[in-house]
Amino acid sequence: MAAHGLAEDAFEIVVIKTSGDRIQDRPLSEVGGKGLFTKEIEEALLDGRIDLAVHSSKDMPTVLPDGLALTAFLPREDVRDAFLSPRARTLEDLPHGAVVGSSSLRRQAMIKRLRPDIEVVMYRGNLQTRLRKLAEGEVDATLLAAAGLRRLGLEGEITSLLDPDSFVPAVGQGAICIESRENDDATLKLISAIHDQETQIRLDAERAFLAVLDGSCRTPIGGLATIDGDTLHFKGIVLKPDGSEAHVTEETGPLASAVEIGKAAGAVLKGRMGPGFYEDAI
């Protein structure tokens, strides 16, 4: 509306509840992974009920249905994971044997890597549900995306922020993307006014990295691209679910080579993992 000077009645917002929103009692890795947050929305795009879809980039599979594409990105928010706890200031400060709730295999594996003594339990539910469980003492701490908390005006719930260099975020964390039909020129023209090129370059590298590793909700993977002038720096990590083994790589190159940089990082880690690395994650 702001970019084009259009009135509110020029737009209709359609709320679509996805399978990922409805299934709250099981880990997503058991019931289909990332596609659970996109399936119903993409069906609405393909049959013309909606013209564009707004997603959290980290929910997006690396392969999209034919005819659909990620066609715009909003400026990226904070990429970091937030630590929330009434018992400690940081993850390192938690007492021995503390219980941490998380539904993310990446966060679970990285917590176990840093603090093998901590018990990590599955923790589903919307943001308000997770905050309530934390307040009621069901867990001693939890980790959530800082960007989501900020967008909902809940920044005050954050106890501390984790360093993205040692606690590598999920691919696409903090970035809102827009998905639309590839041949819908009217919508493409509309959303081009709010597209952030720097975010797209960073996400091109991160998603290329994830695609090489066949990343899903069943594989603990982190990846973050940053830009310094004309140079893109990428850091990627893959872990065993129990945190007992991790491989890290860093790649640097020109912005125009973002996809190639991501692919190269993925290939490096794929070569280091060796056969059977993912078996525990399936």
- Read off the CATH number of the domain in which 110 is found: 3.40.190.10
Domain assignment present for residue 2? The answer is no
What are the CA-CA distances from residue 31 to residues 65, 74, 126, 222, 228 (Å)?
A: 19, 30, 17, 21, 39
Choice among 16-20, 86-90, 185-189 with the minimum mean pLDDT: 16-20
Enumerate the β-bridge partners of residue 223: 236
* Per-residue pLDDT band at 281 (split at 50, 70, 90): very low
According to DSSP, the β-strands at 141-145 and 160-161 are: unpaired
Q: Are residues 150 and 13 in the same domain?
A: no
Query: 161, exposed or middle or buried, with CB in 10 Å at 0-12, 13-18, 19+?
Result: middle
Mean pLDDT of 87-108: 95
Q: Are residues 178 and 148 in the same domain?
A: no
Choice among 31-35, 56-60, 213-217 with the minimum mean pLDDT: 31-35
Q: Are residues 184 and 263 in the same domain?
A: yes
Give the residue from 234, 184, 193 showing the smallest Cα distance to 52. Answer: 184
User: Alpha-carbon dihedral of residues 258, 261, 266, 271, nearest 10 degrees?
Assistant: 170
User: Which is catalytic among the residues 25, 47, 59, 81?
Assistant: 59
Q: Are residues 59 and 189 in the same domain?
A: yes
* Distance in angstroms (rounded) separating the CA atoms of residues 106 and 222: 7
Biggest distance spanned by C-alpha atoms of the chain:
57
**Cα-to-chain-centroid distance, residue 262:** 16
Mean pLDDT of 136-154: 95
Mean pLDDT of 244-267: 97
Mean pLDDT of 6-28: 75
* Distance in angstroms (rounded) separating the CA atoms of residues 234 and 141: 29
**pLDDT value at residue 35:** 60
**pLDDT > 90: percent of the chain:** 80
| Total domains, the chain | 2
* Per-residue pLDDT band at 251 (split at 50, 70, 90): very high
Q: Are residues 53 and 177 in the same domain?
A: yes
* Distance in angstroms (rounded) separating the CA atoms of residues 84 and 148: 13
280 belongs to the catalytic site: no
Instruction: Look up the pTM and report it.
Output: 0.90
Mean pLDDT of 136-158: 95
Q: Are residues 144 and 193 in the same domain?
A: no
**pLDDT value at residue 103:** 87
**pLDDT > 70: percent of the chain:** 90
Between 218 and 78, the higher pLDDT residue? 78
Mean pLDDT (the chain) is: 91
Domain containing 176: what range? 8-77+171-281
Domain assignment present for residue 261? The answer is yes
